[in-house]
């Protein structure tokens, strides 16, 4: 598994309106400018495409920060 900073770099590339270096592990990803349900779908697709992990809407709802998201994906990869 990549570290959280590599994870962030990959995730930032998924959002057209984010400049590299915008997100940190403590960023509440719902505070991303223009956040919408489409961003949530992008995150779910990102987890599947990059890590072969299926995130549920509930799992996503139970996270707030990029670090939380990283931890859930990493945990699911280790199962």
pTM: 0.92
Nearest to 70 by CA among 37, 39, 27, 33: 27
Q: Quick one: tokens of 28?
A: 């509440």
Which sign does the torsion angle of CA 41, 4, 30, 21 carry? negative
Report the number of distinct structural domains present in the chain: 1
Examine the pLDDT at 1 and tell me if it is beyond 80. Answer: no
Q: What is the CATH number of the domain that holds 45?
A: 1.10.1200.10
How confident is the model at residue 61, as a pLDDT? Answer: 93
Position 76 confidence tier, pLDDT thresholds 50, 70, 90: very high
In the prediction, which pLDDT does 18 show? 86
Range of the domain at 58: 4-77
For 10-45, what is each residue's pLDDT tens digit?
Answer: 999 998 888 899 999 999 999 988 899 999 999 999
């Amino acid at each position: 598994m990549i570290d959280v900073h590599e994870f962030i770099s990959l995730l930032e590339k998924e959002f057209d309106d984010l400049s590299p270096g915008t997100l940190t592990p403590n960023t509440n990803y719902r505070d991303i400018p223009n956040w919408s349900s489409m961003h949530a779908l992008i995150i779910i697709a990102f987890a599947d495409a990059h890590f072969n992990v299926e995130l549920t809407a509930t799992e996503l709802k139970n996270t707030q920060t990029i670090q939380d998201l990283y931890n859930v994906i990493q945990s699911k990869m280790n199962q």
